[in-house]
């Protein structure tokens, strides 16, 4: 087929219009395009708050908070207890809270929500996801700080390949976070009041894939050795590859996880950075 110069010019012009249109906002002005390319960087987890010390210069305290980078949106999971300690660790670790797009709150306990107002003061341009059973006042406080409040009932995908389990549990309602990676599922927990094995099973119901890594608080301090052996057997049955138990898990119970997982145990604590290649 012969194509004359006028046809080529027309085609080039048409493609140019389509290309330009993809970068224009509704007012016809040039808009910045945020392209998400998961091959650019690994998924990076930075523990900002924990009752165990990992990096010198940071401050440990009872509570939990973890920054997640490398996913489509930058996510802060829980916010620890004391705002001044959270902000100290943020500064020491060189974290820019203005880059956070989403905040996930696991459950309505002060050791996971305490730093939220301080974070929103630094960056209100976020969506805060929290279990639907939270009192209405919580969402109103979030909106009063100029952020968007989003209650969560069932499992949802909050950005590409990142999911929430949805609200779980009876007396204490809680949600956990799941990231779908090429290596398998990564699960981040707050306190696991609903049972760590129940969380792992829910994750596999949502995304029927192997579990590569689970870390966070497991709330097992009151479990006997016999009960712990049953839980560890559950981890083996679910073929969990790596584990990082911390916060409310219990010192004795953490030692048992370390022994059970050996080189696949991931030490935790303030300042800990975990990187997982996407591919």
- CA gap 99, 160 in Å, rounded: 17
pLDDT at residue 25 in the model = 42
Indicate whether 19 and 121 sit together in one domain: no
Tokens representing 102? 């989403």
Give the DSSP letter string of 64-90: -EEEEESSSS-EEE---S-HHHHHHHH
Give pLDDT, residue 279: 62
Give residue 80's domain range: 34-276
Q: Nearest CA to 272 among 41, 78, 45?
A: 45
The mean pLDDT value for 108-117 works out to 97
| 8 Å CB contact between 85 and 61 | yes
Contact between residue 72 and residue 278 where contact means Cβ atoms under 8 Å apart:
no
Longest dimension (CA), the chain: 82
Number of domains observed in the structure of the chain: 2
Same structural domain, 62 and 118: yes
Per-residue pLDDT tens over the stretch 130-187? 999 999 999 999 999 999 999 999 999 999 999 999 999 998 999 999 999 999 999 9
- Provide the H-helix boundaries in 123-262: 136-144, 196-206, 225-237, 251-261
Q: Which residues pair with 151 in a beta bridge?
A: 130
Q: Are 119 and 89 in contact (CB under 8 A)?
A: no
Sheet holding 102-104, edge to edge: 148-152, 127-131, 102-104, 75-77, 65-69, 43-49, 273-276
Same domain for 74 and 2? Answer: no
Token pair, residue 190, equals 């707050």
Residue identified by tokens 């805060």 is 128
Closest CA to 210 of 181, 188, 230: 181
Confidence at residue 158, expressed as pLDDT on a 0 to 100 scale = 98
Q: Do 149 and 86 share a structural domain?
A: yes
pLDDT digits (tens, 9 = 90+) for 71-106: 999 999 999 999 999 999 999 999 999 999 999 999
Whether residues 68 and 25 share a domain: the answer is no
pLDDT at 277: 84
Are 164 and 29 part of one and the same domain?
no
Q: What DSSP state is assigned to residue 81?
A: S
**Reported pTM:** 0.86
Residue 171 maps to which CATH number?
3.60.15.10
- 82 and 20 within one domain: no
Question: Residue 263: pLDDT above 90?
Answer: yes
């Amino acid at each position: 087929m012969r194509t004359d110069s006028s046809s080529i010019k027309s085609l080039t012009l048409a493609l140019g219009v389509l290309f330009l249109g993809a970068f224009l906002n509704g007012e016809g002005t040039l808009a910045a395009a945020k392209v998400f390319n998961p091959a650019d960087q690994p998924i990076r987890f930075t523990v900002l708050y924990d009752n165990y010390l990992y990096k010198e210069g940071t401050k440990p305290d009872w509570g939990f908070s973890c920054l997640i980078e490398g996913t489509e949106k930058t996510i802060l999971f829980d916010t620890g207890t004391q705002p001044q300690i959270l902000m100290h660790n943020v500064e020491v670790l060189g974290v820019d809270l203005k880059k956070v797009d989403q905040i996930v709150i696991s459950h309505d306990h002060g050791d996971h929500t305490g730093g939220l107002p301080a974070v929103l003061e630094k960056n209100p341009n976020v969506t805060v996801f929290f279990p639907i059973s939270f009192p209405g006042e919580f969402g109103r406080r979030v909106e009063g700080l100029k952020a968007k409040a989003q209650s969560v009932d069932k499992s949802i995908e909050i950005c590409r390949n990142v999911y929430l389990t949805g609200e779980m549990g009876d007396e204490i309602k809680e949600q956990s976070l799941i990231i779908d990676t090429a290596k398998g599922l990564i699960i981040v927990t707050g306190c696991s009041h609903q049972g760590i094995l129940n969380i792992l099973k829910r994750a596999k119901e949502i995304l029927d894939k192997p579990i590569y890594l689970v870390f966070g608080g497991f709330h097992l301090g009151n479990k006997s050795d016999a009960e712990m052996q049953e839980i560890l057997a559950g981890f083996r049955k679910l073929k969990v590859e790596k584990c990082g138990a911390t916060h409310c898990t219990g010192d004795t119970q953490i030692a048992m996880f370390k022994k059970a997982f050996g080189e696949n145990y991931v030490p935790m604590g303030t300042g800990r950075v975990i990187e997982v290649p996407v591919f």
